[in-house]
Amino acid sequence: MANVTMDKIVNLCKNRGIIFQGSEIYGGMGNTWDYGPVGVEIKNNLKRAWWKRFVQEDSSTYGVDAAILMNPRVWDASGHTQNFSDPKMDCKKCKQRFRADNLIEEYSKGSISAEAMTNEEMEKYISENQIKCPHCGNFDWTPIRQFKLMFETSRGTLDGDKDIVYLRPETCQGEYVNFLNVQRSMRAKVPFAIAQIGKSFRNEITPGNFIFRTIEFEQMELQKFCKEDDSFNFYNDYKTKAMQFLLDLNFSPEHLKFHDHDKLAFYAKAACDIFYLFPMGWSELNGIHHRSTHDLTRHQEFSGKSMQYLDPITNEKYIPNVIEYSIGADRLMLAVLTEAYNEETLEDGETRVVLKLHPALAPYKVAILPLQKNLGTKATEVYKKLSKTFMCTYDESGSIGKRYRRQDEIGVPFSVTIDFETLENDTVTIRDRDTMAQIRLKIDEIEDYIKPRIQFN
Ligand code: ATP
């Protein structure tokens, strides 16, 4: 990741089919992004790796895919209709909008946590310290106003007979409302977890930093339902597992750190983030929260359904505690791209850009490259054979050196070159993205060669 800037990442994404600006031909739509053919593969692989690690390999975790639109009472129970807003201030001079808590935290270089401050306390701090507009440098603020973060839409057949519904601002409520369903239908015994990957929507005041903070994003998260006695063990366990997941995706330990919260929500018993060294500095990548019995208790209260669990062995009845582990798929995508981005100077003095992605995340596992166009028939045969097992890409234009560079830039771990010898003895060269070393193999041996090298374990 040496010397990687956000501009370099954004340009690579745009030029190599990874991520485009949303609705670009209409001038874009602020802070929306579209994944291109290469990006969608990487993101899907990220989601697969997460699901494999946290659902497939854990017999006590069950997946769900809940509806984005939920009964509005869910958001009353979760507190979002009441409290999900940010304190915003506008600069009267340049009309830019900021979050008051961010202004304070940036000014104090993180030494002050504004999370638990009241609006009055924040206004006082900003005034006493004469915190200026980061955009135009003036000190001329509107008072703080609360800015609602939930997107509203409506449903109903007749005008005037519409109900407001919300685009979910977090996926986890889909797990809480299905706690009883999953427990009953799967005969699940506490402790067990429910996991989900899905879209969330937040009308963020200060989105930005490319896909770091957007108004529509995907979350990968799980809720572990457990007894109070075990809850801190699970909390610590998920801290370890969340970190290990990142290390196993080839993140360098120097670029990750735990950040324990010192101020907690009134119901929370512990909370911690993992920070990553993004191009714009250390920022939250994911969170692990001990949420006590708060969520299920609130849903019991608002739905009138008992959320108690009856332990079949001890006959004890209780509302389980919840440990939440949540990571944004898009934020992880940005971290993965940052971490994988490398510029290397080659022996001939040329620079190559290479995305050293974990092979399991690579958009294509194999690039099929006929040395010359008239080798196309044989190369297509190889493509057809390998694409039954792996995502492959085919490139026949430009010098072989240029084609290798293009594959390096999107992180393809193996390039298979078809040459005239291939026609004689069915062998090809396989080039390794990272070492650039080449070996010769029989076409029939390629699959077995690649399979163990692209596993995520
Ligand atoms: P932040 O403090 O950055 O706003 P948060 O603490 O509100 O994040 P959570 O509600 O705990 O975040 O969401 C869990 C994860 O979802 C975050 O760690 C992050 O990876 C991701 N996430 C949250 N908000 C956004 C967003 N607006 N855009 C992209 N990813 C997001």
- pLDDT for res 93: 93
d(CA 77, CA 84): 12
Nearest CA to ligand 1 atom 28: 213
Tell which atom from ligand 1 comes closest to the C-alpha of 213: 28
d(CA 143, CA 91): 10
Q: Is 408 in the pocket of ligand 1 (CB under 6 A)?
A: no
Q: If you measure from the C-alpha of residue 207 to the centroid of ligand 1, how many angstroms do you get, rounded to a whole number?
A: 11
Q: Is 422 in the pocket of ligand 1 (CB under 6 A)?
A: no
Nearest CA to ligand 1 atom 20: 328
Q: Is 101 in the pocket of ligand 1 (CB under 6 A)?
A: no
- pLDDT for res 115: 76
CATH H superfamily, domain 364-453: Anticodon-binding domain (3.40.50.800)
d(CA 451, CA 366): 11
The residues facing 284 across adjacent strands are: 275
* Three-state DSSP state, 67: coil
Instruction: Write down the residue that tokens 């529509």 correspond to.
Output: 216
Region for 91 from its dihedrals, namely left if φ exceeds 0, alpha if ψ lies in -120 to 50, beta otherwise:
beta
Tell which atom from ligand 1 comes closest to the C-alpha of 221: 14
Q: Is 330 in the pocket of ligand 1 (CB under 6 A)?
A: yes
Q: Is 326 in the pocket of ligand 1 (CB under 6 A)?
A: yes
This prediction's pTM: 0.92
Residues of the chain below pLDDT 50: none
d(CA 36, CA 40): 6
d(CA 143, CA 123): 7
d(CA 446, CA 443): 6
Residue 353 in tokens: 């850009």
Phi then psi for residue 135, to 5 deg, are: -85, -50
Region for 4 from its dihedrals, namely left if φ exceeds 0, alpha if ψ lies in -120 to 50, beta otherwise:
beta
Domain boundaries 6-84+149-337, corresponding CATH code: 3.30.930.10
- pLDDT for res 157: 66
d(CA 331, CA 32): 13
Phi then psi for residue 156, to 5 deg, are: 145, 155
Q: If you measure from the C-alpha of residue 1 to the centroid of ligand 1, how many angstroms do you get, rounded to a whole number?
A: 23
Q: If you measure from the C-alpha of residue 328 to the centroid of ligand 1, how many angstroms do you get, rounded to a whole number?
A: 6
Tell which atom from ligand 1 comes closest to the C-alpha of 324: 11
- pLDDT for res 294: 98
Helices (H), 329-430: 329-340, 376-386, 400-409, 420-425
- pLDDT for res 156: 77
Region for 94 from its dihedrals, namely left if φ exceeds 0, alpha if ψ lies in -120 to 50, beta otherwise:
alpha
How many CA atoms are closer than 13 Å to the CA of 251, on its beta-carbon side? 26
- pLDDT for res 158: 61
Q: Is 196 in the pocket of ligand 1 (CB under 6 A)?
A: no
Inter-residue contact 60 to 188 (CB < 8 Å) = yes
Q: Is 219 in the pocket of ligand 1 (CB under 6 A)?
A: yes
| From 201, 217, 258, 332, mutation site for ligand 1 pocket: most ligand atoms within 8 A of C-beta | 217
Residue 132 in tokens: 């200026």
Nearest CA to ligand 1 atom 23: 328
The residues facing 258 across adjacent strands are: 274
Q: Which amino acid is at 251?
A: F
Structural domain boundaries in the chain: 6-84+149-337, 364-453
d(CA 313, CA 188): 13
d(CA 296, CA 322): 8
> Is the preceding peptide bond at 279 cis, omega within 30 degrees of 0?
no
| From 173, 331, 332, 333, mutation site for ligand 1 pocket: most ligand atoms within 8 A of C-beta | 331
Q: Where are the beta strands (DSSP E) in 27-169?
A: 33-35, 61-64, 85-90, 97-99, 145-148, 152-155, 163-166
Nearest CA to ligand 1 atom 3: 284
